[in-house]
Structure 1
Amino acid sequence: MGKPTGFMEIGRKTGVEIPPQERLENFREFHLALSPEDQQAQAARCMDCGVPFCQSGMTLGGMTSGCPLNNLIPEWNDLLYRGQWELALRRLSATNLFPEFTGRVCPALCEAACTCGYTTGSPVTVRENERSIIEHGYEKGYVRPAPPPARTGKTVGVVGAGPAGLAVAAYLNKRGHRVTVYEREDRPGGLLMYGIPNMKLDKSVIDRRVKLMEAEGIVFRTGANVGADLPAQQLLDEHDAVVLCCGAKQPRDLAVPGRDAQGIFFAVDYLTSVTRSLLDSNFLDGHAVSAAGRRVPVIGGGDTGNDCVGTAMRQGCESILQLEMMPCPPTERTPNNSWPEWPRVLKTDYGQQEASSVFGSDPRLYQATVKEFCKDESGHVCGAVISRLESRVTEEGRRAMVPTGEEFTVDCDLVLIAAGFTGCEPYTAESFGVTLGPRGTVADQQYATNVPRVFSCGDMRRGQSLVVWALREGRDAAAAVDRYLMGYTNL
């Protein structure tokens, strides 16, 4: 342990965020990094705690506590504090091949379980430390292509270039298998590319990693829609194993009157259109769904809903309203939500901060949902009837959010549905003959489906989840595929 008293001597310090109204002028990342010296000082706050819950990845209270990747956080924090940046990167890369992603978009489960946070109220800046290590590695040339020294003669097809697919491909390639990644979109990245806005994860970060993977021998085939334009049998004929990593992109809809009105979009389609137009032409092509000058209700209070709020704010919406069915969370932990469980407390994210800065109030309305959409004479959405909700015990004996009878109408011109996802789009799995379950494909604990040689992982297997869980699924699935191909694995 480099500095046993660091947590007592050094206060928590994070990188500066560009002020809300200033960062609304563009779609660039707005979180500025600390200096290397300040980041090393922050790493010194990592305690010599007996049980580092930060890296545990345990399930407590029905949610994950600590890092699902089991990152060796105290070890690389110590190396970072000592200024041994390259060694810190090696230790970080031992469990996470994509820290530039998790260092930007992960909700930092590690920090919520940090012992320093429990004892001092200020957890170690684990996520920023992680991001600084990988960015320093790129800057100094520590991150470079490392193709495998030998090939096994086996080939694997990976369907989907999202975080799970990238992880599967990277690990299997390191093992020496020839890997081809099939992606139906025009760019690799999946959720990372088109589901997460550029200001949260700059797309050059994804391109940089993909180029590195290509230099290591991985082949990416974009515009390859397996199960539609590209037959599943072709992949089975060309590869010794296939891994389905198609995500959980089937959006949850609203079955309410007026849903067929024009101007109502699923969040994923809206965010995709904006990012694609930004990358293709810096919005000159006019292909993005635009919230400019429009009154926008966002239905869904989660991360995707917040991304819609932040995107609509940058486009210049006239007003923004974010609906959440559940009650407002408490501002502090409740007695039945003790550390190191994930804190079920109120979080104000960047989009809500920006809306508050411009319009003077938080855009979220809790315990509310849309009962009906109103259409004008041209069939375009012009209003939404909002129904208030309350928690009650139903006749079946379960607790649910039900209408109170109180209703009101809001004017709107654009509606964004961010109500989550119900599972994968079924056509790819069905083209292979893979049996579908309620959340996605049916795969056992070894990630194998009911079809020989076909595996599945990520959101497609476990349902909608975090990027860090997709990376963990990809890592573990790669080991399962390697064991199938070689009879053992060293992944």
Structure 2
Amino acid sequence: MGKVTGFLEIGRKKPPARPVQERLRDWKEVYLPSPEDDLKKQAARCMDCGIPFCHQGCPLGNLIPDWNDLVYRNQWQDAIQRLHATNNFPEFTGKLCPAPCEGSCVLGINDDAVTIKTVENTIIDRAWEEGWVAPQPPAVRTGKKVAVVGSGPAGLAAADQLNRAGHWVTVFERSDRIGGLLRYGIPEFKMEKRFLDRRLQVLEKEGIIFRTNVDVGGREVMGEFEAIVLACGAGWPRDLPVPGRELQGIHFAMDYLTLQNRRCEGDRVPEEGFITANGKRVVIIGGGDTGADCLGTVHRQGALSVHQFELLPKPPAARAPDNPWPQWPNVFRVSSAHEEGGERVYAVATQRFIGDEQGKVRQLQALKVEMARGGGRIE
């Protein structure tokens, strides 16, 4: 696979990124395309490992060693065919997936894993540039109609597969635009929405019908379609039931991110209904990917300061003994948003919010916590 001795000769190299001070002035994507020569070298690090555990890590079962080898050999069109065999939308996963495949890469046992995510993203970018991604309507139609409720990544993938099988597919979306989480949950600096729109145009030309601003009622749909796929997403937020939660200035992440994404789409969002961090001292409760999305948004809106709270202790720099390969490595990571600033506070639990006479939040009380193992469980 690739260059037989590549993993011995070539080190891992991250994709280039725009300078922090430059990217904080706009909402464009952080990362830049990798030079082709660098990319082929990174693909060459994919070793002949015998049993590629990256397959185990990838929820899609992507044929990762195959397309790494094809990239190294400059066979890009074959690479996109192999990638599309298991992945409907590589441009989405290549930008947004946390890359569990890299966590289970065999090379990662005692070296840095192959940059699988970067190779994947570059393959699909090259395919679009070359015109290899084009509408391919099914040759035969079954005559059956299928409704897909929800137009997020799951709904779009289901619609694509059903349409390929020859069914007539209609996708219903409650919001005013197609895309679900891809449209309104993912910040523009992680994935510019032109990439989503580009793929939607292909799906429409292949025969998929999209209907927005529709709150589906089960009986109405059943009368028109032979089958229904429910891909409604998980839009219900997880609340924090502590005293003072009702104060003004405390927001759910999705409410916050959606409003900024609407402005990035060009929508006119009135100031009185907009949530902004401009000129404010911000606390983000939650240290995961969504928290990082909020962090990058806060930076671009011009916050005075920002602290990100995480309930768990700070992860180690390398795998702990109880976190062996090929498990997902619970190690310290720095996202592009963390590179841009802010302070991360670990092992802290929010106890209450305190407000002023106008009912606006002014303070947060929290406790330092310690994780302890008891009966084989973390408490």
TM bin (shorter chain)? over 0.9
Fraction of identical pairs, as percent: 51
Is the counterpart of residue 256 in structure 1 residue 222 in structure 2?
A: no
Asked if structure 2 preserves the Cα contact closer than 8 Å seen for 1:162 and 1:247, the reply is yes
Q: Give the structure 1 partner of residue 251 of structure 2.
A: 265
- The whole-number CA distance in structure 2 between the counterparts of 1:118 and 1:25 is 39
Q: Give the structure 1 partner of residue 275 of structure 2.
A: 289
Unmatched segments (≥5 aa) in structure 1: 57-65, 357-362, 401-491
One-letter code aligned to 1:383: Q
Q: Give the structure 1 partner of residue 122 of structure 2.
A: 132
Name which of 110, 113, 129 aligns with 2:104.
113
- SS of 1:385 mapped into structure 2: strand
One-letter code aligned to 2:367: S
Q: Give the structure 2 partner of residue 101 of structure 1.
A: 92
Larger deviation: 24-33 or 14-23? 14-23
- The whole-number CA distance in structure 2 between the counterparts of 1:328 and 1:6 is 34
Across the aligned residues of Structure 1 and Structure 2, the Cα RMSD in angstroms comes to 1.7
Shift of 1:115: 1.8
Name which of 187, 192, 202 aligns with 1:197.
187
Unmatched segments (≥5 aa) in structure 2: none
- The whole-number CA distance in structure 2 between the counterparts of 1:388 and 1:9 is 45
Asked if structure 2 preserves the Cα contact closer than 8 Å seen for 1:276 and 1:288, the reply is no
Shift of 1:45: 1.5
- The whole-number CA distance in structure 2 between the counterparts of 1:393 and 1:47 is 38
- The whole-number CA distance in structure 2 between the counterparts of 1:6 and 1:204 is 35
- SS of 1:391 mapped into structure 2: coil
Superposed counterparts of 1:360-439, under 5 Å: 363-392=343-372, 399-400=378-379
Shift of 1:379: 1.1
Asked if structure 1 preserves the Cα contact closer than 8 Å seen for 2:103 and 2:329, the reply is yes
Asked if structure 2 preserves the Cα contact closer than 8 Å seen for 1:184 and 1:224, the reply is yes
- SS of 2:306 mapped into structure 1: strand
Cα shift readout 1:57-82 (whole Å, capped 9, x = no counterpart): xxxxxxxxx11111111111111111
Asked if structure 1 preserves the Cα contact closer than 8 Å seen for 2:107 and 2:114, the reply is yes
Q: Give the structure 2 partner of residue 173 of structure 1.
A: 163
Q: Which runs of 4+ in 1 moved over 6 A?
A: none
Shift of 1:377: 1.4
Shift of 1:399: 4.5
- The whole-number CA distance in structure 1 between the counterparts of 2:62 and 2:264 is 34
Shift of 1:273: 0.7
Length-normalised TM-score, structure 1: 0.74
- The whole-number CA distance in structure 2 between the counterparts of 1:326 and 1:3 is 40
- The whole-number CA distance in structure 2 between the counterparts of 1:200 and 1:334 is 30
One-letter code aligned to 1:190: G
Q: Give the structure 1 partner of residue 212 of structure 2.
A: 222
- The whole-number CA distance in structure 1 between the counterparts of 2:250 and 2:114 is 42
Is the counterpart of residue 319 in structure 1 residue 309 in structure 2?
A: no
Shift of 1:398: 6.1
Q: Residues 183, 284 of structure 1: CA spacing in aligned structure 2 closer, same or farther, 3 A cutoff?
A: closer
User: Which structure has more strand as a fraction of its residues?
Assistant: 1
Asked if structure 2 preserves the Cα contact closer than 8 Å seen for 1:161 and 1:183, the reply is yes
Q: Give the structure 1 partner of residue 21 of structure 2.
A: 21
- The whole-number CA distance in structure 1 between the counterparts of 2:372 and 2:326 is 29
Shift of 1:92: 0.5
Q: Give the structure 2 partner of residue 475 of structure 1.
A: none
Length-normalised TM-score, structure 2: 0.96
Asked if structure 2 preserves the Cα contact closer than 8 Å seen for 1:25 and 1:314, the reply is yes
Cα shift readout 1:268-320 (whole Å, capped 9, x = no counterpart): 11000110111124x77545311000111111111111111111011000110
Shift of 1:397: 9.7
Superposed counterparts of 1:33-72, under 5 Å: 33-56=33-56, 66-72=57-63
Is the counterpart of residue 309 in structure 1 residue 299 in structure 2?
A: no
Q: Give the structure 2 partner of residue 329 of structure 1.
A: 315
Q: Quick one: higher RCO (CA 8 Å, sep 6+), 1 or 2?
A: 1
Is the counterpart of residue 91 in structure 1 residue 71 in structure 2?
A: no
- The whole-number CA distance in structure 2 between the counterparts of 1:13 and 1:351 is 19
- The whole-number CA distance in structure 2 between the counterparts of 1:279 and 1:237 is 35
- The whole-number CA distance in structure 2 between the counterparts of 1:78 and 1:138 is 20
Shift of 1:393: 6.8
